[in-house]
Amino acid sequence: MSTPRKSPKRPAIHTTSAPDARPAGRPAGGPVDRPADDEMWPRVTRELADDLAVDALARDRAGKAPFDEVARLQEAGLPALLTAPGPNRRGADWRTACAVVREISGADSSVGELLAHHYALTWSSRFFGPAQEPDVTRAATLPLDVRTAEEHWLLAGGVEPPRIEAEPGLTLTPAETGGGWFLDGSRTFTSAVTVADRLVVGARPGGTGDLLVVLVDPARPGVYTDAGTERVGQRLAGAGTVTFDHVPVPPEDILGTLPHDEHAVAPYATLAPLALRLLLVQVGLGIAEGALAEARDISRADQAGPAPARRTAGALAPDGSGAVGGGDDPYLLLAYGELATAAHAAAAVVERATDALTRGLLAARSLGVEERADIAVLVAAAETVTGRAAVHITTRILELVDGTAGADARGGGPGFDRFWRNARALTAPTQSAHRLRDIGDHYLNGTHARLTLLA
């Protein structure tokens, strides 16, 4: 049985200050409203990551719904972190949100994925809603990110239409009175639906035409949630299938519209799937960095024990693996050099994509097609490079730790299979060949990626 290890050190988080922020009171034991500043969010995130790392393996093996994990997030104030720029902004910006997801994922990538989906969904009304200024006297007309921060909601769901046209997806039928709708259908979501406070979903009136983005309280009658079956990885992300049976949706819970005709879609609205993809890239990068840092700690601890016997070049370890402990073994140093370089390269590509997306989000509705195409290419590059790096690093780490920890690792001791399983589960849905084709088409022919909500 493994002993808890101290969380490995991860890259520092850099935030944008909000000097006007003020904490608001909350009842004892509830979520905490926190001011945003350059020092607070990195400290809060690092402390939570350390806390999650201590029992990450035990929680992964238990495979329970992530109620405890969500409570920890809420206590740290992280679900309320992301709000749009403005004079009264109490939270942090997208760059900070990406850094938070990355660091949390290094400790527990299931929690990182849950938080990634939440952050992407909080901006649904800004991506798809009307451009006019909200009425600050009516809470229902405030942007969803502001309402989420004030109500301390955790969001789940997804607004993307079905990938196959024959699939009905979710449908809306008009109510006879009141101007609202009734929501019907069933969808499977990869994150947080078992623990969410609100669901954000896309549905079509009558199953055709423009997509309406709606907000649904999962506690309403007619909403049924089934937890997902045991997954290979990302077991604590709260995946599941939600069925809606004639669920009333009042007009104030319509967050926005996405036109069926892609030529009528604003480039800014199509940043929504790119934002989610980049946040999930941060999860993958966190997995790679977390696995590498924990493996390094194991190797360093091994150095403190009896010195391993010297081997000649090409000789195998007693178990035949070829891997050894000890910080002076040239093959171990070579392996760590290769893996650290892969992680650094992925981080550099991700940082460039994060810069581009942040600028695009600040441009808002003035974003042009050319700028959106450049962002899409950088996100696709980050997705491809990081996905390959995460799988390679976590696979190689299994080999290295198996060589150093021996039978204990094969019996599940350090639990490094968790990183490999999570990396596989996270990257499996991504078709890297399609991403590379789009990158090549843009680079060679200057072709723009389609303005679509499909991730």
Cβ neighbours for 117, distance < 8 A, ≥ 6 positions apart: 155, 156, 158, 190, 191, 192, 276, 279
- Assign 406 a pLDDT band (cuts: 50, 70, 90): very low
| CATH 3.40.50.720 applies to domain 40-151 | no
Which numeric CATH code is attached to 155-260?
2.40.110.10
Report the C-alpha gap between 455 and 446 in whole angstroms: 21
Which numeric CATH code is attached to 271-445?
1.20.140.10
Cβ neighbours for 345, distance < 8 A, ≥ 6 positions apart: 385, 389
Report the C-alpha gap between 124 and 128 in whole angstroms: 6
Report the C-alpha gap between 415 and 61 in whole angstroms: 10
* pLDDT tens for each residue of 331-385: 889 999 999 999 999 999 999 999 999 999 999 999 999 999 999 999 999 999 9
Distances (CA, A) of 98 to 15, 103, 119, 350, 433: 10, 9, 9, 10, 25
The domain locations on the chain are: 40-151, 155-260, 271-445
Mean pLDDT of 375-397: 96
Q: At 201, phi and psi to the nearest 5?
A: -135, 155
Distances (CA, A) of 285 to 86, 288, 384, 391, 395: 30, 5, 11, 10, 14
Residue in 356, 105, 363 with CA at minimum distance from that of residue 236: 105
Residue 319 CB: number of other CB atoms within 10 A?
Answer: 12
* pLDDT tens for each residue of 114-169: 999 999 999 999 999 886 555 544 555 688 999 999 899 999 999 887 665 556 68
Helix (H) / strand (E) element for 225: namely strand 223-227
Residue 49 CB: number of other CB atoms within 10 A?
Answer: 26
Distances (CA, A) of 246 to 156, 186, 435: 20, 11, 38
* pLDDT tens for each residue of 156-195: 999 887 665 556 689 999 988 878 899 999 998 989 999 9
